[in-house]
Structures are given as C-alpha cells and as structure tokens.
Amino acid sequence: MKAFVFPGQGAQFVGMGKDLYDHVPMAKELFDKANEILGFSITDIMFAGTDEQLKQTKVTQPAIFLHSVILAKSIGAEFAPDMVAGHSLGEFSALVAAGALSFEDGLTLVSKRAMAMQKACEMNPSTMAAIIALPDEKVEEVCASIEGVVVPANYNCPGQLVISGSNEAIAEACAKLTEAGAKRALKLNVGGAFHSPLMEPARVELEAAIQAAPFAKPICPVYQNVDAKPHTDPEEIKTNLIAQLTAPVRWTQIVQNMIADGATSFTELGPGTVLQGLIKKVDRSMEATSKQSL
C-alpha cells in the first residue's frame, strides 16, 4: 500500500516549485491563482526571493503548502495514495491532495493559520527545542515537573522529541534534560511555541475559519497529527484540525500506525527530505523516497 506524506515548516528553499511553474500549464495556473488569493506575489519570493523573506511565517506556510499540493496535482496518475499524512502544516497539504478540501479553501486556511500563529508568537515570546537521544517518557516527565509552560510538541521519531514553551521554561527544561542524559538539547530557530498551549489565541482564531470551510470525504484515510489515527469523516477531520495548533504532532505514532495498517512504501511530496529521514528512523526496512520536482 502506498503512503504519501507532506512536510511542514522548515523544509522551504528558494527556487522551490519553479520547475513546475515553468513546465506544467496547470501548475502555473494554480500558482498565479495563489498570488491572487494571497494578495501578494508569493511566487516571486519562492522562486527568486531571499532566505529571510521565505522564512517569514506568513510566507513559509503557504509556500510549502503550494509546492506540495501543486506537485501532487502535477504528477497525475503517479499520485495514487492508499493513505496520506502531513507533519503539522503538511496536514493541510495532505487534506487538499486527498480531496477533503479545495485548493482555494486550503490555501486560505493555511494563510489564516500562518497569520494567527505569527500574532500568537508576538503576544508570547516563546520557543522550541529538539531533545535528542532520550526516551519520550523521560522528556514528558521532566516537562511536567517544570512550573512554566513547556510541553512535548513534535514526536518526530524514536529518540527525537521537540519541546515547546515559554523562553524561561524551555531554558530550564533543556538544562534538566541534559542532566537527565539527553545527547543534545538544542534550541530551534523558530518564531514561537508551536503546538503548545501558547498557541491558544491562534487556535480560537482559526476555529471559526475551519468550521466555515466546506470539507468533503477524502479519497483515502488521512492520518491526523492529534491522534495519529486514520480519518475520513469530514466532521472528525475538522475537529482534529482545530485541536492541532495546541496539541503535539504525533509523527512517530502516525508512521507506526500506517505501517501497521499495511503501508509498504512512503513518498514525501514537497520541499526537503526531512520526513523521509524520520520514516527511516522509525523503521529502517521501510521504502521511503522524496520527490521535490518532476
């Protein structure tokens, strides 16, 4: 069974999607439509901007979404998934690629999500850190012992868990986790504490937009971040998508569940090869490839 997966924030690079724009008329049409929907020329930044311009959350999230979704639409019959999933932002790409959301509605929600997250970051100075080579349970235990806001945010693969919270609580957690035997406790260069309670203002803002958007039944099960389980019911999908902003991304569990449900190959669609690497760390024997262009 074929699984297709979609990357999240951090995978972006200047030039992403340009070959699709140049060689696939339908792709050019969708990119041009995206510029209209967003009200600025995101293609200029994607194809020829600077890393700094591309790193702004309001640009990064729609850019990754566009590259992933338009690539899925451009490969035609090659995109024949038995199951799909996306990491954080990538869940929106997965939902559009699988037909649960239209391209236009998906892009509008991603843009609103990016703006709402940006605002929440500005309200609460906060950050994230990657904890390497410590059991998940130990990381959870240390986070729970700290007074301020610090929670597990991304279960990426065995031995790699990203935590999220206020600057002070993250600093304290990193010190304690290093003492507890973590190989590394590395602060990440991110705008704020994604997938933590500090994203609550963004969740509230996005909830109304998600509730108002028309969702359909996808062509295959979508394994969602919040519970790592397969979903096809539009109402369940919406509920999980709303909860996603303040809940952890259970990527390790998603990959394990997809494999348990019969996945025999994984294809990552979009910029970067991050997910391909994480899948291999979950199960070394699994066939995992990534596709960034035609």
Q: Rounded distance, CA 15 to CA 249, Å?
A: 28
Q: Which residues contact 96 (CB under 8 A, 6 or more apart)?
A: 65, 69, 102, 103, 106
DSSP string covering 100-131: SS-HHHHHHHHHHHHHHHHHHHHHS-EEEEEE
Separation CA 188–CA 191 (nearest Å): 9
Alpha-carbon span 228 to 234, nearest angstrom? 16
Query: Which residue is catalytic, options 67, 74, 87, 88?
Result: 88
Cross-strand bridge partners of residue 156: none
Count the neighbouring beta carbons within 10 Å of the beta carbon of residue 71.
26
Pairwise CA distance, residues 252 & 291, whole Å: 21
Active site residue 196: no
* Catalytic pick among 166, 195, 196, 290: 195
At which residue do the structure tokens 């929600």 appear?
109
88 is catalytic: yes
Block residue for tokens 């451009």: 74
Q: What is the largest CA-CA distance in the chain?
A: 55
Report whether 147 contacts 181 (CB < 8 A).
no
Work out the number of other CB atoms within 10 angstroms of the CB of residue 32: 12
The closest alpha carbon to 249, from 214, 278, 271, 213, belongs to 278
Rounded CA separation 47/106 (Å): 21
Catalytic residues: 88, 195
